Structure 1
Amino acid sequence: MDDTFVVIGGDAAGMSAASKAKRENPEMDVVVFEKGEWVSYAACGMPYYVKGEVEDIDDLVTVTPEAFREERDIDLRTGHEVVDIDPEGETVTVDDGSETFEQPYDHLLVATGASAIEPPFDGMDLDGVFTIHDMDEADAIETYVDEQTPETAAIVGGGYVGIEMAEALSEHGIDVRIYEMLPHVLQPFGETVAETVEDHLREQGIGLHLETAVSGFAGDGTVERVHLEDDSQPADIAIVGVGVAPNADLASEAGIERGPTDAIATDEYGRTNYENVYAAGDCAEARHVVTGDPDHVPLALTANRAGRAIGETVTGSPTPVGDIAGTAIVKAFDLGAARTGIIDEDRAREAGFDPVSVTISASSRAHYYPGGSELTVTLVADRESERVLGASLVGEEGVKRIDTVATALNAEMTVTELQNTDLAYAPPFSPVWDPILTAAKVLGGKLD
């Protein structure tokens, strides 16, 4: 009898693992339990659905449940919640809405994702107050905007969700204000990126309230105001985007260990402290490529890649899930911002490095070729080893160059090695010295 591979969670990591396992071993029984109805969807596209650039929410679905069942022969069961894991007995207990039953497994993947953090604000239960981390929430926001036609919006949190939702709601003619308790938006991207984005947001008519803590919301059944420490302001809709927390309780209650980030601890193959139990995606830790320490950076590629690797491993070909660098990119109206590795010098010192950084601005194209714009690059390296530690970029075009630095991090390249990388040049795409190379050249001068 062939092995049974059970997957808890039907999004990026879970369905990548299930699909890969079935391709590698068509005889394997692959069972996926998903407590909701949506599977394999592009969560990163949800703000663009609210904005109206994506017409139908179903367009965000990569593979339908029917395709998984009929074309990939995966036993996908939506509306099924796993309520208990028994690693010693190698079973999971499942609630299908009417009864519970046990499902044995030979290999188990916990891919339970993460949930939007809901702060203990007053008024979180008012109509018009939303978080946005799944498809039902995105659909509810779009419906609310369409039917209630709000005039003012309060966005709590200046991270990815806050910036993208500010653009989405502004597109509907809504007066948008962002409330961020830290000194800057996009804090992990560094001060240079943050200040550039903040200036641009103000130019787009977005109200910024930095170093401003929200205490709650008020209204008669429906949100009408956002309360601050010493003030209140109108808000006909509110989006709370203050981060996510890994859904690791189910695993930890079963004795599956959490790591220092509070996500599920895993090894290089995604294994937990139980050899035949794996974890991947937003619920799990991964090794940071720069520090070598466990980290939790819930991003789509990390989940897809780890799930695919685990799908190979459970079919007999052990495959590492890969390290992470926290590489991220975000659109803020006409600007793009990107980051990878370690940018914060205090964090670099805590990791044992002696950081040195430079910030340069260069044209995204040859200076004489039309359509170029200024691209600002911050590059960080270790003084002693000259190893590249991280970078951030901001500009109207060209921020996808962050991938060059991410590649350098994975190769543990020095600043000199990065500077000598043979990058492509043509006037419509880049100056002779690409901005990344220019940054490396200037940083190398500081290290001499």
Structure 2
Amino acid sequence: MSTPIETDVLIVGGGPAGMMCGITAAQFWPARRVLLVRPEEQAVVPCGIPYIFGTLGGTDEDLAGRAPFLSFGGKILIGHIASVDRNHRIATLEDGTHIAWNRLVLATGSTPYLPPIDGRELPGVFQIHKDYDYLDTLLGETLPGISRLAILGGGFIGVEFSDELRKRGIEVHLIEQRPHLLAGSFDTDASLAVEARLASLGVKIHTGATVTAIEADASGQRVGGVRLDDGRNLPVEGVLIAIGTQPDTRLAADMGLTLSRSGGIWVDGFQQSREDSQVFAVGDCAHKQDFFTRHASHALLASQAAAEGRIAGMNLYGLKLPRTNAGTIAVYASQIDDLAFGVAGLTEHTAREIGFEVFIGDARLPDHHPASMPGTHEVHCRLVFDANSERLIGGQVIGGATTAEILNTLAVAIQLRATATDLASFQFGSHPRLTAPVHPIVAATGEALRRRLSPS
């Protein structure tokens, strides 16, 4: 064997989880060498991928920065890890290069789920891979020849791609099996608001529909349409499958690491693997537990991945009890046209379905004051509280530019186990051009307590 490259910390994968782990490791353990191996020279920002095709207009506009990692002394090697020998602490790249490591972090991400639909192998059927060259080809060569496109999956990715691709003049058909778009993340009223806005922009929405086959055109060589379970055939020239992703655990399985029944690499609160305290896993490839129930969570989010990267980076050479993974809250946010929407924690429907006794508060108010201020949007904030402890367990927001920051405030409150009493009186800053006249969280909490004390 050739002389191996030596490093203290080896990170496999350069997405949000891997890069954040590298930055944190370099900050917290400055005397340690940190090497990140990823297969691509240029890495894209995962959450920005839909916007390459509309708002940004190019793959080069969605590149993830690496300067912070390099500025802390981290190093990046372009390559693909083919195998890992845990006993001898050696990783081998496909080109035969060997890397000797002391701590290993798996950040191998996820792969798109491809359902067993007839015709999925036809040219014109594509998925979303977090790969610069693939996305650049898709944007520059594939999409320009498509005038009608079917998107399979009405989650966040499908919804965002629908909005972005229609900006390119493509007739978009968005197909979702459930009764409503975003049904797994929102209560029905929020889903209806998103559906209405997309429809007003020209997107053709097909909910409660299943694609039974992707059919070829007259040549038999390309996509010509999709067949639905009600017998309809939608003539399209391309199909984007955006049903979801699954953890990429191939390397972990080859290493003999325990995989959870939900598919991710089993990790503890410090992101350590079960078999080896010097092997960590972060991001989409790692098992997730719900913050509230400890059930398996299937939310694969860049924000959660980055948080796990920070946790692992802090604990590589010594466990720090305050720096553990408390579980996945799942904070989602997006925007269609000027309609922003998002959720933190549990929706009312999900909370009741799990078995929580809850009380709810809604508030609708302008996000600036007075309401005649230019750029004002209505904010609808719905909060969900546990009836026994009065703890906040979820919130849903539909509004304008302030939506994401309201959601982030809710996420902090959930993590700190804030109660309705805490939130009803919390102090907030106010400015006519920047904030609502009363903070939406305070207003919704007040309504929740009013309903609780004086049920009608």
> Structure 1 length as normaliser, TM-score?
0.90
Identity %: 25
The aligned residue for residue 33 of structure 1 is: 37
CA shift, 1:303, in A, is: 1.7
The aligned residue for residue 325 of structure 1 is: 329
The aligned residue for residue 304 of structure 2 is: 302
Distance in 2 of aligned mates of 1:79 and 1:379: 46
Distance in 1 of aligned mates of 2:245 and 2:260: 16
1:9 touches 1:33 (CA, 8 Å); kept in 2? yes
**Match among 176, 182, 201 for residue 180 of structure 1:** 176
Distance in 2 of aligned mates of 1:37 and 1:381: 46
CA shift, 1:335, in A, is: 1.0
CA shift, 1:445, in A, is: 1.9
Choose 373-382 or 395-404, whichever is displaced more: 395-404
What amino acid is aligned across from residue 77 of structure 1 in structure 2?
Answer: L
The aligned residue for residue 11 of structure 2 is: 7
Structure 1 residue matching 2:365: 3-state secondary structure: strand
Choose 256-265 or 379-388, whichever is displaced more: 256-265
The aligned residue for residue 245 of structure 1 is: 246
Mapping 1:144-183, distance limit 5 Å: 144=141, 147-148=144-145, 150-183=146-179
Residues 320-362 of structure 1: per-residue CA shift (max 9 Å, x gap): 3554310110112221110010115344553x52122244422
Distance in 1 of aligned mates of 2:86 and 2:113: 28
1:17 touches 1:308 (CA, 8 Å); kept in 2? yes
1:4 touches 1:29 (CA, 8 Å); kept in 2? yes
1:2 touches 1:27 (CA, 8 Å); kept in 2? no
CA shift, 1:90, in A, is: 3.0
**Match among 43, 47, 51 for residue 46 of structure 2:** 43
2:26 touches 2:69 (CA, 8 Å); kept in 1? no
Residues 279-332 of structure 1: per-residue CA shift (max 9 Å, x gap): 001111344333344534221222223223322322447443554310110112
Distance in 2 of aligned mates of 1:211 and 1:139: 33
1:50 touches 1:141 (CA, 8 Å); kept in 2? no
Distance in 2 of aligned mates of 1:114 and 1:344: 29
The aligned residue for residue 90 of structure 2 is: 91
Distance in 1 of aligned mates of 2:205 and 2:330: 26
Mapping 1:4-403, distance limit 5 Å: 4-39=8-43, 41-51=44-54, 53-63=55-65, 73-80=73-80, 82-96=81-95, 100=96, 102-135=98-131, 136-144=133-141, 147-148=144-145, 150-187=146-183, 188-219=185-216, 220-229=220-229, 230-273=231-274, 274-316=276-318, 318=320, 319-321=323-325, 323-348=327-352, 350=354, 353-370=356-373, 371-400=375-404, 401-403=406-408
CA shift, 1:50, in A, is: 0.8
Structure 2 residue matching 1:337: 3-state secondary structure: strand
1:111 touches 1:279 (CA, 8 Å); kept in 2? yes
The aligned residue for residue 432 of structure 2 is: 427
Distance in 2 of aligned mates of 1:140 and 1:101: 30
Distance in 1 of aligned mates of 2:401 and 2:65: 31
| CA pair 438-71 structure 1, distance change in 2 beyond 3 A | closer
| CA pair 28-397 structure 1, distance change in 2 beyond 3 A | closer
What amino acid is aligned across from residue 62 of structure 1 in structure 2?
Answer: A
CA shift, 1:212, in A, is: 0.3
CA shift, 1:88, in A, is: 3.7
Distance in 2 of aligned mates of 1:243 and 1:344: 24
CA shift, 1:62, in A, is: 2.5
Distance in 1 of aligned mates of 2:68 and 2:386: 47
What amino acid is aligned across from residue 116 of structure 1 in structure 2?
Answer: P
1:50 touches 1:138 (CA, 8 Å); kept in 2? no
**Unmatched runs of 5 consecutive residues or more in structure 2:** none
CA shift, 1:18, in A, is: 2.4
Residues 39-98 of structure 1: per-residue CA shift (max 9 Å, x gap): 3x31111111111x324423322335xx69975554432232x233333443334312xx
Choose 402-411 or 71-80, whichever is displaced more: 71-80
Q: How many residues align?
A: 438
2:79 touches 2:93 (CA, 8 Å); kept in 1? no
1:126 touches 1:223 (CA, 8 Å); kept in 2? yes
**Unmatched runs of 5 consecutive residues or more in structure 1:** none
Choose 243-252 or 360-369, whichever is displaced more: 360-369
CA shift, 1:7, in A, is: 1.4
1:281 touches 1:304 (CA, 8 Å); kept in 2? yes
2:357 touches 2:387 (CA, 8 Å); kept in 1? yes
| CA pair 146-255 structure 1, distance change in 2 beyond 3 A | closer
CA shift, 1:21, in A, is: 2.5
What amino acid is aligned across from residue 178 of structure 1 in structure 2?
Answer: L
Residues 190-239 of structure 1: per-residue CA shift (max 9 Å, x gap): 21210111111111111110000012322232222112121211112221
1:369 touches 1:428 (CA, 8 Å); kept in 2? no
| CA pair 22-414 structure 1, distance change in 2 beyond 3 A | closer
Distance in 2 of aligned mates of 1:84 and 1:173: 45
Residues 142-166 of structure 1: per-residue CA shift (max 9 Å, x gap): 1235641x22111111111111111
| CA pair 157-137 structure 1, distance change in 2 beyond 3 A | farther
The aligned residue for residue 444 of structure 2 is: 439
Choose 371-380 or 238-247, whichever is displaced more: 371-380
Structure 1 residue matching 2:223: 3-state secondary structure: coil
Distance in 2 of aligned mates of 1:45 and 1:11: 13
| CA pair 9-2 structure 1, distance change in 2 beyond 3 A | closer
